[in-house]
Structure 1
C-alpha cells in the first residue's frame, strides 16, 4: 500500500492561539483610556476593515486534490497600505489573524511608516508537504486572494514557516496576472523577497537585528554592559538565530534554547554558529545538541538568565510560568508572546518587557526599505541598510522609553499610546467620510 508523507508522519495536535484577540483588545483599551482616545476613533480601531477567507483546491504530488483554507485580515489603513506577514501554521484562524493584524497596525504606526496593519496565512502544517506541493499551494493561494493584495493596497511579507522563496512565488504569480506593461511595476507586491528577485540585502536579519538593537538601547539607558550577560531564546528560526548571533558578538552568552521539539541548556554557553549549523543538519531542531543538557519544556522559562527572548508563537508567557521567570528583561521577538495575565505578574515582579510592536519591528522597517527600493529602482548595500535600521529603531526606542518615563507607565503602554495617537491625528485631520 502506498503511503504519502502526510500519512506516514504523525500529525501534531494544533493548539489554537486562544485569547490573542482578547489580549490585544485589553492592551488597546488600556492605552486608549490613558490618552483619552476619542470614542468614535476607538470604535473604528476596535474592528477590522476587511476579513478575507478563501478555500482553494490544489493537486498533490500523488494526484489527489486537497482543499486548503487561507486568510487575510486587513485591520486599518488610515496611514497607508496594509502591511503584514503570511504564516503557514495549523493555528492560523480568523481570531489569530485579527489580533496579529491589529498588532501590525500599532507596529507600523509606532515605527513612523506609511502603512496600516494586515496579517494572514494558510491553516497548514508545511512539514507535511513537498517543496513542489508548497509552491503550488502558495501560487493557488495568491491567485485566490486576487485583487485583495497589491503593492499600493496590501503588501504581505514572510512570517512563521514562510520565507523569501515563498515571497518569490507570490510575487511571480501576482505579476503574471497583471498586464505585461505593468508586471515589473508590481514587484513590490510583497517584501522579504530573495536578493536576486528584488529583495533587500539584510532583510533576512532585520527582525533579529532589531531585537538585538532594542536590548542594546535599553542596556545603554540603564548602564548595563551586555558582555557576560546570559540569555535564553525560545524559537531558533530566523529571528532567534540572528538576535542570538548579534548578542553573542557583543559578548553576551546564549545559555538556553527551545524549539518545537524540545529545550536545551548549557550555563557555560552555547556557540550560536555551531548550534545553527547543527540545526541545518538535523531538520531544524536543537535537540541533542552536543555539550548541552535537555530541559523539560515546562521548565524552559525558569532557566537562570538575565535576558529572555520569546521568538516563537503567541501566548507563551502566561500566569502559569511567569512567576518562575528569572530574567530581568523580556525582549519580545515574537508577536504577542506574553498574555495579559502573564504580563501583570512580570510587571509586579519588576521585570522589564520590551514590547513586540517595538522589539521586533526591525522586520517591517526592513520591508519598508525594500518597498522603497523597488519603487525607486535603487539598490542599497548591507552596511547602509543596517545603519538605516539602527537609526530608525533608535528613534522609536527613545520615543517609547521617554514617554514611559514621563508618564510613569510600562513600555508596552507607552508604545501603544504613541502608535494610537498617530492614527488618531490622521483621522482628526482628514475627518470621516462621508
Structure 2
C-alpha cells in the first residue's frame, strides 16, 4: 500500500483515542482509577539498532508497545513506514485492546513499528532489519506465543512474518509452540486459510450488516441491503482490495478508487479486479480507461456515493474536507482515518460511521484462529471433515432409499461435503462480525445519550476489559 499524506501530523493520534475513551467512559460506572488503568499504555519499548547498508551503516528506530495485559498474550501488527512514531504506535496498540474486546477475542492490545520506507531497501536488507527487530524483542521478552504475538500491518506481510517466526524459533530451540509467536504467516509455515483477505472480508461484512438494518437506512434515505449501493474505496492494498472485491460480490457498485497517485471515478461502476491488475502491471490506476481522473487523491473521497471506505492510513477525513464528503456511511477500513472534529461534522450531516475498532477487526479475529491452530497443532477440519462427509452420505442414502427420489451428482456432492479450513474460518469470521455489530448497535440504542456507534463500541469494550481486571483480582 502506498503513502497518502507524508506530511500528516500524527503526534496527536493517541490523544484522539484517549479523547474518545474519556467521552465513552462517562457512560460507564467504573472507578476512575480503573478507567485510568484501562486507558494507559502498560509497556512502551523504544529501541535503535544498526544495520549494514551498502558500504556503511544505518541506525534504525523501532518500537513495540503493549497497551494492556488484562488478557494474555497481547496482540498487534508491525508496520514499516517513514511516518511511524511513538505516539502512533501507542494509539494503535490502544485501539487493538479495544478492538479485541469488541469482537470477544481474548488478547490484550499491542503494536509495533519500524521507521523505514521498505522501498528504499533490498530484500536482504529488509530481512536483516526484520530479524534484528525480532531479536531485540526477544531479548526484552516482548514476543512469544503466551506473551506478545505480532502480525502484519501497513508495509509488512507474510514474508516478514515468516522471517519473524523463523528467528523466534531459532532463538527458542525445542519450543513446541514457537510458530504461535506470530500470525499472518504463509500457509506453508503454519499459517491459516483466509487470513490474507480476512480484514477486507470483515469490513465488507460490517458494511453489509449496517445497511441491512431497515430502520437505520430509512433515516439516511437509503434502501435496505448492499445491492446497488455506490461505494468509494480509498486504498488498493490488502484491506482496500478485498473490501472492494467482496462488496462487489455482495452487489455493491464500486464507483471510485483512490490511491496515492490520484483517484478514478465512474458513476456506472468499476471492475475492481481489472483496476487492481492495471495498477499491478503499470504502477498506476490513473491510466484506467473510461474514468474521470483526479490527480489529487483527496478529491476522490468527495465524489458522489452512498458509502465511503477509507482503507489507507489515519487522518484522511479531517475538519477541512468532512463537509465535502457526499457519502452517508463511512466504514473505517483503516485505523483512525476520521479525526474527532471530522466525525462531529459528519454526524451533524446525519451520517453513520462504522468505527475502525469494529470494522477492521476481521484481521485479528482470523489471527486468533491461526494462533489457536498453532497451539493445537491441528488444521481446522482435519479431524472431523471425513466423518461429517460419511455421516451426510449415509443420511442421503437413507433418505433416497425411503423416498425413492434420486439426487443428481451435484446435489449429492453439495449435501455431503464436509467443511474445509477456509469455510470454517470464514464462518467463524462472519459470525463474529455479525454478532459484534448488533452488540454495538444494541448498546447504541439502549444507552441514554450515546450518540455514535464509536462511543457505543468504546463503552462495550471498557465494560468487558473492566470485568477482566476485576475477575483476575487485579482490581477490587
Give the TM bin, normalised by the shorter chain: over 0.9
Structure 1 contact 365–389 (Cα < 8 Å) conserved: yes
The one-character-per-residue Cα deviations of 1:10-54 (angstroms, maximum 9, x if unpaired) are: xx9553423211210111001111113311111212321111111
Match of 1:289 in 2: 288
Task: Give the match's secondary structure for 2:370.
Answer: helix
Q: Would you say the 8 A contact 1:232–1:256 is kept in 2?
A: yes
Q: Write the mapping of 1:107-126 to structure 2, written as runs, cut at 5 A.
A: 107-126=99-118
Per-residue CA distance 1:225-245 (angstroms, 9 max, x = gap): 211111001111000000100
Q: 1:55 aligns with which of 38, 41, 48?
A: 48
Contact 2:8 2:315 in 1 (8 A): no
Instruction: Report whether the alignment pairs 1:422 with 2:464.
Output: yes
- Answering whether residue 21 of structure 2 is matched by residue 28 of structure 1, we say yes
Cα gap change, 1:16/1:126 in structure 2, threshold over 3 Å: closer, same or farther?
Answer: farther
Show structure 1 runs of 5+ residues with no match: 1-11
Equivalent positions of 1:90-105 (< 5 A) are: 90-105=82-97
Matched-pair contact (CA < 8 Å) for 1:16–1:91: no
8 Å contact from structure 1 (residues 79, 109) kept in 2:
no
Q: Does 1:64 align with 2:63?
A: no
Counterpart position of 1:364:
364
Q: Which residue of the partner structure matches residue 18 of structure 1?
A: 11
Match of 2:160 among 166, 169, 184: 166
Q: Which stretch of structure 1 is more off in the superposition, 373-382 or 102-111?
A: 373-382
Counterpart secondary structure, 2:177: helix
Q: Give, in angstroms, the shift of residue 286 of structure 1.
A: 2.3
TM-score normalized by the length of structure 1? 0.94
Within the alignment, does 1:191 sit opposite 2:190 as a pair?
Answer: no
Superimposed CA distance per residue, residues 308-331 of structure 1 (whole angstroms, 9 cap, x where no aligned partner):
001011111111111111111110
Deviation at 1:83, TM superposition (A): 0.6
Is the CA contact 2:38–2:465 (under 8 Å) kept in the aligned structure 1? no
351-360 vs 32-41, which deviates more?
Answer: 32-41
CA distance in 1, matches of 2:21, 2:145: 28
3-state SS of paired residue (1:68): strand
1:200-240 deviations in Å (ceiling 9; x for gaps)? 10100100000000111111112612111110011110000
Q: For 1:203, what is the secondary structure of its paired residue?
A: coil
Q: Is 1:311 aligned to residue 311 of structure 2?
A: yes
Q: Provide the secondary structure at the position in 1 that maps to 2:67.
A: strand
Task: Give the match for residue 41 of structure 1.
Answer: 34
* 1:75 corresponds to: 67
Q: Please state if 1:204 is matched with 2:196.
A: yes
Structure 1 pair 320/13, CA: closer, same or farther in 2 (3 Å)?
A: closer
Cα distance, 1:431 vs. partner? 2.9
Contact 1:310 1:337 (8 Å CA) reproduced: yes
Q: Distance in 1 between matches of 2:276 and 2:183?
A: 25
Per-residue CA deviations over 1:159-209 (Å, capped at 9, x if unaligned) read 00100111001100111111x221x42101110000110111010010000
Partner SS for 1:85: strand
8 A Cα contact 2:229 2:307, kept in partner:
yes
The equivalent of 2:432 in structure 1 is 392
Q: Map Cα deviations across residues 121-144 of structure 1 (whole Å, 9 max, x no partner).
A: 100111111212111111111111
Is residue 353 from structure 1 mapped to residue 353 from structure 2 by the alignment? Answer: yes
Structure 1 CA distance, aligned partners of 2:89 and 2:82?
A: 13
Give the structure 2 partner of residue 9 of structure 1.
none
Q: Which runs of 5+ in 2 are unaligned?
A: 215-222, 381-420
Q: What is the aligned partner in structure 1 of residue 259 from structure 2?
A: 259
Matches within 5 A, 1:263-274: 263-274=263-274
Larger Rg belongs to: 2
1:157 aligns with 2:151: yes
SS at 1:378's partner residue? coil
The CA distance in 1 between the partners of 2:194 and 2:423, in whole Å, is 9
* 1:23/1:339 contact within 8 Å kept: yes
Tell me how far apart the structure 2 counterparts of residues 33 and 272 of structure 1 sit (CA, whole Å): 43
Note if 1:279 corresponds to 2:273: no
Name the SS for the 1:34 alignment partner.
coil
Coordinate RMSD, CA, aligned = 1.5
Q: Deviations over 1:236-272 (max 9, x none)?
A: 1000000100111111111111112221111121101
Secondary structure of the equivalent of 1:120? strand
366-375 vs 35-44, greater mean Cα deviation:
35-44
